Amino acid sequence: MDQKSAKKVKNRPEALNENERLQWRLLDTVFAQNNNATSGGLFAFSIAALTFWQQVPSIVWLVWITGYGLVVFYRSRKIAECASDSDRSAANLEAWRRRVDLIQLATGAMWGVLLTYLVLIGTPEQIVVAVLLMTGLVTGGLLAYSYRQPTYVLFSSGMCLPPTIGLLLRPEPLVLGAALAAAWFLFLWSCSNKFADFYRRALRLSLTNKELVHDLEQRNQEVSDLNRSLHEKIAELGESNSNLKSEQERIAAFARELEKLSTTDPLTHIANRRHLELSLEKAWRRAMRRGHELGLILMDVDHFKNYNDNYGHQQGDQCLVDVARILSAYAPPESCVARYGGEEFVVLLPYTTHFEALEIARNFVTRVAVTGIRHEFSPVAPHLTISAGLSVVRPSPQVRPSQLLQNADKALYQAKRDGRNQVVSDRTAGVLDSDDKPVIELDDVWQTGATPPESSVVASTPRESASS
């Protein structure tokens, strides 16, 4: 590698470690405050000139303005040089830090000399103005230069120490004023340390985020390249007659996987609403052909919002997974267990009578209650409970599949209104039977870890597929 290429590699920002990149950013931040610092200096000089113009000889004003103008000119020139400097190495960083410290020390010293002179010749009222100017400048410098604490310390020391000493050297020493100025100076020093530490942490986090974004973009590009390569490979296989069969099998497997993903709830890994709707249509047509009854249980986790708000979204997701696992374990083998949306679950029961569906629904409510999932924020019980609405119909041309869901939803609404943690049945056989009682409640509300009455639990065991 030649010297020119080596220099380019050395000057790349990636060649710096994290702390060196952070120091460069801090340095750039200090330079970025030049316009604000210049404006603040002009404002402070205007106040000083209006207050002390008659007492200060013109030659003193001329000398100070000339010196301060040279400092400002030198500072602006160095800012332009730093912005155009492509050498962002560690050695050059140290050189620029020394330049910045020297510039800010000179700026503070120029103000320190002027304020000291004003303190020595001024009246008590004018001294108050001078001290206020000093405190205002060092306070403004806290916002402008404390991103790098050594720079602020040099600036504020050069500005505050001479006037503070000047207060003590007057014919009538102003000890209290000097003490207050020193106390304020020390207070700002301590604040600058905390402010600089806070800004460094925020800047470090910003750099880390940028690195993560850059890494993510690279990974996205890699994925894009892989996808492009995959499409090219598929095109090649499609053009090759010898690999046509294997390509068709692969596409079929991919389609089955997509179908599975499109009909599976990503959180609970049970059927989703789309799968339920497809299964309901198929079961409805089959039951209508064979004259069988078709049942549906719509369940809702009681006061799930309280659970989610107080235990957190991750624990809320785990709660839904646990409920889905219980329903899958104790549902009949031919049933379809699905997440209907949010905290609502549906179990579709083909070839099931009303009495069988009722016992299955009561068993679901019981199993969830006795599992003892802690829910201290539920007004129903100190553990997790569910409410269930049940509907059983004999499909006919006069009844639509959606009626089954509507009846179960009405029954679930009634269960919630009646106190939750119970099963409500809306018996339907083509139309609602007005002679049937719509509400069937559990015999009791069981406490956490308690065993429910034997008469209210169906003797069923988890399916092997669910338990495994």
The tokens describing 195, both together, are: 């402010």
Beta-carbon contacts of residue 314 (< 8 Å; ≥ 6 apart): none
pLDDT exceeding 70 applies to what percent of the chain?
Answer: 70
Q: Which letter, b or e, does each residue of 379-388 get, where b requires 16 or more Cβ atoms within 10 Å of its Cβ?
A: ebbebbbbbb
**What is the C-alpha to C-alpha distance for residues 273 and 130, in angstroms, rounded to an integer?**
76
Predicted pLDDT of residue 451: 37
- Could you tell me the pLDDT band of residue 74, with boundaries at 50, 70 and 90? confident
Average pLDDT over residues 29-52: 75
Lowest mean pLDDT among 12-16, 97-101, 422-426: 12-16
- 458 burial via Cβ count (<10 Å: 0-12, 13-18, 19+): middle
Taking a C-beta distance cutoff of 8 angstroms, is the pair 389, 409 a contact? yes
State both tokens at 224. 């894009």
Instruction: Give the integer Cα–Cα distance in Å for 253 and 248.
Output: 9
Question: What integer is the mean pLDDT of 320-336?
Answer: 96
C-alpha neighbours within 13 Å on the C-beta side of residue 144: 23
Q: Which residues pair with 423 in a beta bridge?
A: 388, 440
DSSP H helices, 55-174, are 58-84, 90-121, 124-145, 149-169
Structure tokens at 327: 């329903």
Task: Give CA–CA dist 409/325, Å, rounded.
Answer: 22
| Cβ neighbours for 247, distance < 8 A, ≥ 6 positions apart | 234, 237, 238, 240
Give the model confidence (pLDDT) of 166-204 as tens digits.
878 877 777 777 777 777 777 777 676 666 666 667 666
Higher-scoring residue by pLDDT: 385, 22: 385
When the pLDDT of each residue in the chain is averaged and rounded to a whole number, the result is: 77
Higher pLDDT, 39 or 413: 413
Tell me: the pLDDT tens digits for 58-70? Answer: 888 888 888 888 8
Predicted TM-score of the model (pTM): 0.43
Q: Which residues pair with 295 in a beta bridge?
A: 349, 392
Residues in the chain: 468
Measuring CA to CA, which residue among 299, 400, 305, 406 is closest to residue 357?
A: 299
Rounded mean pLDDT of 375-402?
94
Give ranges for CATH 3.30.70.270 in the chain.
Answer: 268-467
Q: CATH number of the domain at 268-467, please?
A: 3.30.70.270
More confident residue, 216 or 431: 216
What per-residue confidence (pLDDT) applies to 124? 79
State the pLDDT confidence band at 349, using cuts at 50, 70 and 90.
Answer: very high
Helix/strand/coil for 424: strand
Range of 94-98, 259-263, 285-289 with top mean pLDDT: 285-289
CA gyration radius, the chain: 39
- pLDDT band of residue 439 (cuts 50, 70, 90) is very low
For residue 365, what pLDDT is reported? 97
Average pLDDT over residues 226-239: 80
Kindly state the tokens that stand for 246. 């294997």
What is the structure's pLDDT at 464? Answer: 35
Least confident of 57-71, 73-87, 448-462: 448-462
- What confidence tier does 448 reach under pLDDT thresholds 50, 70, 90? very low
Any bridge partners for residue 348, and if so which?
Answer: 296, 336
More confident residue, 307 or 54: 307
Query: For residues 339 and 48, which has the higher predicted lDDT (pLDDT)?
Result: 339
Most confident segment among 37-41, 160-164, 184-188: 160-164
pLDDT at position 83 over 50? yes
Query: What integer pLDDT is reported at residue 243 of this predicted model?
Result: 61
What does the longest C-alpha to C-alpha distance in the chain come to?
115
